């Protein structure tokens, strides 16, 4: 992503060619300019969510639900260590998280996974099957539809997830029936995948020429009926496209190098084997900068947690690679939010699409296990130090307080100031549709 590294191809005002290209792509890619330009007025602060998706399904029994008394082919290679919450232990590779568990709540009994290798349930709370026309909107899209931007030049929903060969892991969160006006801006996406509708790269050097291109696209949209009723001052639209605030938030070269070092920076290469998310702790820092700038929802795919074993390394070899980097990045994010006074306004949720098998396979890996998974939550006014749910002695299924994905979503909406029990969005047919199924409510342990 150009804005997360030093760029030399900049215009006289400091904007890089690629950043302006992406800003233009944002406006032309289906986002309605009136909705983007309707800045919120008079709010004292805004609430945000950072969602970290652990692509592939993290092993709950090797992170926050260790079973040291289980048989050797289940308990694995790691020993548990005490945390600052009496009676609760985590993996020895997570010492920094252990010291901050009073600010983190852990769900050890997450249920409801469809067992798909996909971010969809983590982004929407809903399953892929039996979707309404247009599809379920992701959390970010629903919030964008309901709340709009916090101010001009700042978008409600942004994803830092890179483009992956496994597109279901790199899913940033779809707009669904909320409409493409509320799709996420994805600055880490492959630029070749962004449709510019004929905008000229050469014209990006001339802002007036870019404005004329916008004018042309507006006329074409009117003629085609694609944006019927859209009438907005073109100069305001041009101001949005060239606003520096969002681009500044993405430009980590503006950050104190000591802060970047504290996060651990990370590596841009694919983590593990295949094509998955990098262990890029710079992205966690970017997420903090974005919510601080006014973005409401930031999503991020982090690492590859699909550890089936040799020849791609055992579950435990991969964990030794991933967990220390994860431990450093996540704890620095939580500390950074607290130190900047953002922890009460920003909810952080960390999870994957399912858990891993209790029994270690013959290749030293753990396979897919949708029966139970884990999640970590912090900030947003939630109570920390809560250990929600439990599994049986082998980590196979919940024995206490099963928690559904939608209960987590109800909690996140609540933290954002949106009542999930009464708030609806109109579907494609105009029918009011609840954000979560009415049987689910915010977790009383946290709110």
The predicted-structure confidence for 147-189, as pLDDT tens digits, reads as follows 999 987 788 999 999 888 888 999 999 999 999 889 998 888 7
Using 50, 70 and 90 to split pLDDT, how confident is the model at 191? very low
Global confidence as pTM: 0.85
Tell me what the pLDDT averaged over the chain comes to. Answer: 84
What distance in Å separates the CA atoms of residue 353 and residue 368, rounded to the nearest whole number? 10
What distance in Å separates the CA atoms of residue 258 and residue 336, rounded to the nearest whole number? 12
The predicted-structure confidence for 5-32, as pLDDT tens digits, reads as follows 433 343 333 334 344 334 444 433 344 4
- Supply 394's token pair: 């082998």
- Supply 230's token pair: 């859209």
For the beta carbon of residue 343, count every other beta carbon within 10 angstroms. 21
pLDDT recorded at residue 29: 38
Under 8 Å between Cβ of 378 and 331: no
pLDDT recorded at residue 270: 83
Percentage of residues of the chain with pLDDT beyond 70: 78
User: What ranges do the domains of the chain cover?
Assistant: 48-189+254-434
CA terminus-to-terminus distance, the chain: 36
pLDDT recorded at residue 118: 96
Integer Rg of the chain from CA: 22
pLDDT of 41 > 80? The answer is: no
pLDDT recorded at residue 339: 97
Give helix 234-241 / helix 207-224 axis angle, nearest 10°: 120
- Supply 268's token pair: 């841009």
Using 50, 70 and 90 to split pLDDT, how confident is the model at 204? very low
Using 50, 70 and 90 to split pLDDT, how confident is the model at 219? low
CATH topology classification for 48-189+254-434: Alkaline Phosphatase, subunit A (3.40.720)
The predicted-structure confidence for 245-263, as pLDDT tens digits, reads as follows 888 898 899 999 999 999 9
The predicted-structure confidence for 97-117, as pLDDT tens digits, reads as follows 999 999 999 999 999 999 999
């Amino acid at each position: 992503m150009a804005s997360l590294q030093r760029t030399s191809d900049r215009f006289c005002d400091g904007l890089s060619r690629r950043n302006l290209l992406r800003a233009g792509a944002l406006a032309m890619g289906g986002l309605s300019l009136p909705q983007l330009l309707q800045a919120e007025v008079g709010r004292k602060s805004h609430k945000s969510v950072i969602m970290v998706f652990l692509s592939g399904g993290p092993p709950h029994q090797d992170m926050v639900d260790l079973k040291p008394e289980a048989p050797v082919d289940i308990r694995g290679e790691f020993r548990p260590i005490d945390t600052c919450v009496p009676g609760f232990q985590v993996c020895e590779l997570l010492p920094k998280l252990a010291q901050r568990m009073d600010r983190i709540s852990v769900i050890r009994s997450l249920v409801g996974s469809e067992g798909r290798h996909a971010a969809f349930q983590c982004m929407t709370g809903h399953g892929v099957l039996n979707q309404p026309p247009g599809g379920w909107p992701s959390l970010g899209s629903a919030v964008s539809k309901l709340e709009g931007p916090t101010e001009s030049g700042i978008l409600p929903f942004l994803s830092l997830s890179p483009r992956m060969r496994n597109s279901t892991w790199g899913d940033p969160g779809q707009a669904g029936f909320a409409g493409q006006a509320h799709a996420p801006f994805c600055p880490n996406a492959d630029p070749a995948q962004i449709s510019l509708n004929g905008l000229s790269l050469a014209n990006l050097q001339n802002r007036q020429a870019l404005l004329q291109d916008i004018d042309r696209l507006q006329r074409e949209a009117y003629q085609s009926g694609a944006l019927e009723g859209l009438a907005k001052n073109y100069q305001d639209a041009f101001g949005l496209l060239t606003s520096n605030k969002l681009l500044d938030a993405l430009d980590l070269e503006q950050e104190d190098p000591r802060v970047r070092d504290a996060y651990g920076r990370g590596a841009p290469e694919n983590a593990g084997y295949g094509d998955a998310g990098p262990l890029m702790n710079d992205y966690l820092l970017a997420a903090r900068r974005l919510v601080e700038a006014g973005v409401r929802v930031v999503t991020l795919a982090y690492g590859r947690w699909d550890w089936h074993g040799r020849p791609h390394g055992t579950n435990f070899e991969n964990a030794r690679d991933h967990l220390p980097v994860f431990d450093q990045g996540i704890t620095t994010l939580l500390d950074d939010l607290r130190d900047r006074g953002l922890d009460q306004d920003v909810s952080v949720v960390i999870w994957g699409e399912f858990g891993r098998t209790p029994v270690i396979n013959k290749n030293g890996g753990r396979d897919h296990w949708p029966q139970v998974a884990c999640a970590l939550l912090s900030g947003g006014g939630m109570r920390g130090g809560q250990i929600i749910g439990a599994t049986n002695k082998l980590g196979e299924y919940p024995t206490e307080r099963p928690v559904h994905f939608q209960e987590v979503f109800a909690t996140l909406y609540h933290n954002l100031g949106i009542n999930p029990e009464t708030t609806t969005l109109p579907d494609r047919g105009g029918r009011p549709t609840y954000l979560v199924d009415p049987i689910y409510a915010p977790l009383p342990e946290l709110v």
